[in-house]
Amino acid sequence: MLQLKWTVITLIFGTLFGVSCNESKYLGDGQSLYVANKIKIESKEIKKGKAKDLRTELDDLLRPRLNTKILGFRYKLWFYNIAGNPKKAKGFRHWLKTKVGEPPVLASASILQKNADVLQNRVENKGYFKDTVIQTSEVKNKKLTAVYTAQFGPQYTIRNVTYPQSSDPTDSIYKRIDSMQRRSRLKKGEPYDLEVIKDERARIDSRLKNQGYYYFSPNYLVVDVDSTVGDHQVDMNMQIKDETPDKAQDVYTINNVTLYAQYDIHSDTSRSKGVMTPEGYLIIDTAKMFKPSLFSNTLVFRPGVIYRRDDHNLSLSRLVSLGVFKFVKVRFEPMDSTRGKKLNAFYYLSPSDKKSIRFEMSGLSRSDNTTGGEVAVTWRNRNLFRGAELFTVGLFAGLEEQSIGKGQTITTKRGGIDLNLYIPRIVSTFHWSTSSAFVPKTRINLGYELFDRSMQYTLTSAKTSFGYIFKQSLPTEHQITLLNINLVNPTNITPSYQAGLDTNLTLARAIERQFIIGSIYNFNYNSQAKQNRRRNNFYFNGNLDLSGNWLGLATGANIDKDKQKKIFNTPFSQYVKVELDFRHYLSFSKYSSLVSRITGGVGYAYGNSSSMPFVKDFFAGGTNDIRAFRSRALGPGSYFPGNPNKNSFIVDQPGDVKLEANLEYRAKLFSIVRWALFVDAGNIWTRQLDTNRIGSKFTSHFLNDVAVGIGTGLRFDVSILVLRVDVATPVRYPWLANGNKWVFNKVTDISNLVLNLAIGYPF
């Protein structure tokens, strides 16, 4: 059997090698497949690390992009070739050639010379004057590799920098620019770099825009560079162009601010009849759709103040973040005045549909013989009290059936309602600054859920919360839940199921009566929230969950001293729970990346509680977790309740501690189809000894209890959603004896494969 496996592997790689060798056989005479670029840097002046960065920068400039490949195999070109020449612009072969395939990237003398010119221009812009880039090429079997050799001398550095000067000491704009030298990016001794010069012009323009110079532009600044001063140095002289118009050198203030709250292309903006707010805003809202105070709380522009670009952008961002306008734009119009230069501001706001309804339907099939589905309906009102309040009502109902053998089936019914009200301001007795670009929100939540398992039990859950959501910047978000209440009540427990509860602590905890009252703080940072082309991006989420702390302190609750306190005839939960999630996204190209994640947390019950509430515990396994193991059935530690991938029913296994690491390589196959290769590792543990689950406790030897799974998957990215299909298999079982935990010899065993169907990326 082993010999057969190696024969298959050898055949596969041999086929790929043969295909790779024949990639150029379809080319005509004189044609060469452009397969690779090499950039060589020859310089005694550039250190190794800097040369590597420069080589990477130059490589990113080369065009065209070469044919896509994986492990050296240009699979898209292969599909293009085998599709041949379809006679019709439709059908499978045409789809294969145009949608899946990719035409060969051919080399030409003009392309190679253009690349050399681009590289030459870039190195000169980096301060390597009078240096050369030499282009050569290597051709073998109609495959061309371009070689670009950059020969460098010393990089020129800045000797002196002078800023615009005026013979008139009262000239305002010259004085303002002169005051900006302290934080200049053009510093003596630094290397010459054209991008730094552009950044400095943009910096000055931005500062001037925030001081009232509405019509100024970075194009009105010119930097003359003198490279003849010797010793590989340059002198820089910045000037305001002579042709700069007078209005670009004048300071403007805001005169009138007018808002058209229901603007469309048919609106008559000549009408000026509206409501004037105390702040001086004229609100044109004939249907009285919005309260005037909404705009007073949102806009930061004020009539009579100097124009500032930051206030301009801030007002637009805050209007957009209200979520009630489809389109937001502003126009500034100068007006002649004997009292100085003034601007009238006109805001044009197009409201979104006030009410909407959304239907969702989903189906599922799990490896534990469970099938079912869910229906959800969500109704939205985006302007409930005319102050951009968002009110949502969500109704959901689900049905699942699980076969447990011997002709028995467990039916699970689930249904409930979830109400949310988002108010676009902080509702509080204390002062809260709202100067951020994002309008803070107060969130009020109320929900009820019924969970019924036939022949077992019924759970009812009621919850409510009050808190705030606010951003300081686009990548960062804070959520503070001041009050979070959750009451879980079990009823209709059948005698047969009660018998199991008396002997199985895990079963009993899953449906125990719970009363949670506390606060939650969540911090989220996501560098990808703002589109960028950075090679490295990061994500961090931290969550602190507290319950019963003030109650425990006030009542003196202590379960260890038989002083357990109750509310509504239910002991309130007292605990501290911390969760952390850190991710790193390393991009190789637009569709190729390596994503890593480290996540985990710990829960600590004390005072009025001896254990964490079941709904607040950690679980391992599942579609967004360790994908080679069934959801919530892995662990804790080396405890073995049965193989989670093969036993038809295993009780969800909770833990107080969780550690997990994931690594996933993502790439594009063709069209909307993406591909991934991944490895997941981790587990959960109990914080203290659990005599009912031997091996579950977290110790200094926790690494010996780590489960590991590997797998691959496809993602179908249709923009509005991503459908994910993952196939994974365990390669390390934590419950096996030492020396036998790794099971690489079973990765080809089909019975060990776990199929995961999900929406969205796992992380």
Which 3-state string (H, E, C) describes 600-656? EEEEEECCCCCCCCHHHCECCCCCCCCCCCCCCCCCCCCCCCCCCCCCCCCCCCCEC
Our CA dihedral for 269, 271, 277, 278, rounded to 10 degrees, sits at 110
**DSSP run (H or E) holding 745:** none
CA 401 to chain centre: 35
C-alpha to C-alpha distance for 65 and 63, rounded to whole angstroms: 5
Residue type, 106: L
The predicted-structure confidence for 688-712, as pLDDT tens digits, reads as follows 998 889 999 999 999 999 999 999 9
Instruction: State the residue for tokens 């689930």.
Output: 414
Residue 587: pLDDT over 60 = yes
Residue 11: pLDDT over 60 = no
Q: Choose among 620, 699, 694: nearest CA to 661.
A: 620
DSSP 657-698: EEEEEEEEEEEEEETTEEEEEEEEEEEEEBSS--TTSTT-B-
**DSSP run (H or E) holding 749:** none
Which pLDDT band holds residue 271 (cuts at 50, 70, 90)? low
Note the pLDDT of residue 8.
40
Note the pLDDT of residue 461.
94
Residue 711 in tokens = 């797998």
Note the pLDDT of residue 269.
67
C-alpha to C-alpha distance for 731 and 710, rounded to whole angstroms: 7
- pLDDT (average), residues 517-536: 93
- pLDDT (average), residues 609-628: 93
Which stretch of 120-129, 353-362, 369-378, 738-747 has the lowest confidence by average pLDDT? Answer: 369-378
Residue 334 in tokens = 């100068």
Q: Which of 85-89, 498-502, 612-616 has the highest mean pLDDT?
A: 612-616
Percent of the chain scoring above 90 in pLDDT: 66
The predicted-structure confidence for 458-515, as pLDDT tens digits, reads as follows 999 999 999 999 998 889 999 999 999 999 999 999 888 888 887 777 778 888 899 9
C-alpha to C-alpha distance for 200 and 210, rounded to whole angstroms: 16
Residue 650: pLDDT over 80 = no
Residue 4: pLDDT over 80 = no
- pLDDT (average), residues 615-640: 92
Residue 128 in 3-state DSSP? coil
- pLDDT (average), residues 332-343: 82
Q: What is the CATH architecture assignment of 252-351?
A: Roll (3.10)
Residue 22: pLDDT over 60 = yes
pTM for this one? 0.78
Note the pLDDT of residue 272.
60
Cite the DSSP H helix spans in 83-171.
92-95, 109-125
Given a contact cutoff of 8 angstroms between Cβ atoms, the answer to whether 719 and 713 are in contact is no
The predicted-structure confidence for 251-266, as pLDDT tens digits, reads as follows 999 999 999 999 987 6
Note the pLDDT of residue 1.
42
Given a contact cutoff of 8 angstroms between Cβ atoms, the answer to whether 414 and 450 are in contact is yes
Domain extents in the chain: 2-151, 157-249, 252-351
Residue 170: pLDDT over 70 = no
C-alpha to C-alpha distance for 645 and 729, rounded to whole angstroms: 10
Residue 415: pLDDT over 80 = yes
**What is the average pLDDT score of the chain?**
89
Note the pLDDT of residue 628.
94
Percent of the chain scoring above 70 in pLDDT: 93
Superfamily of domain 157-249: membrane protein fhac (3.10.20.310)
C-alpha to C-alpha distance for 603 and 616, rounded to whole angstroms: 8
Residue 383 in tokens = 């302007």
C-alpha to C-alpha distance for 342 and 618, rounded to whole angstroms: 61
CA distances from 542 to 87, 478, 479, 613, 660 (A): 58, 10, 11, 20, 15
Residue 521 in tokens = 């703080």
Which phi and psi (to 5°) does residue 447 adopt? -150, 160
Superfamily of domain 2-151: membrane protein fhac (3.10.20.310)
Residue 39 in 3-state DSSP? strand
Which pLDDT band holds residue 672 (cuts at 50, 70, 90)? confident
Which stretch of 26-35, 211-220, 323-332 has the lowest confidence by average pLDDT? Answer: 26-35
Q: Classify residue 597 by its DSSP letter.
A: E
Instruction: Give pairs for 382-386: CB < 8 Å, separation 24+.
Output: 382/323, 382/324, 382/352, 382/353, 382/354, 382/355, 382/356, 383/289, 383/290, 383/324, 383/351, 383/354, 384/421, 385/291, 386/288, 386/289, 386/290, 386/291, 386/294
- pLDDT (average), residues 53-65: 91
Which phi and psi (to 5°) does residue 354 adopt? -65, -40
Instruction: State the residue for tokens 């605990």.
Output: 575
- pLDDT (average), residues 274-298: 92
Which pLDDT band holds residue 270 (cuts at 50, 70, 90)? low
Domains 157-249 and 252-351 alike in fold: yes
Strand-pair partners of 545: 520, 577
Given a contact cutoff of 8 angstroms between Cβ atoms, the answer to whether 483 and 519 are in contact is yes
Q: Choose among 657, 636, 561: nearest CA to 606.
A: 561
Note the pLDDT of residue 405.
67
- pLDDT (average), residues 381-387: 95
Which pLDDT band holds residue 352 (cuts at 50, 70, 90)? very high
How many CB atoms neighbour CB 696 within 10 A?
Answer: 26
C-alpha to C-alpha distance for 173 and 138, rounded to whole angstroms: 57
Which stretch of 266-270, 352-356, 582-586 has the lowest confidence by average pLDDT? Answer: 266-270
- pLDDT (average), residues 209-222: 96
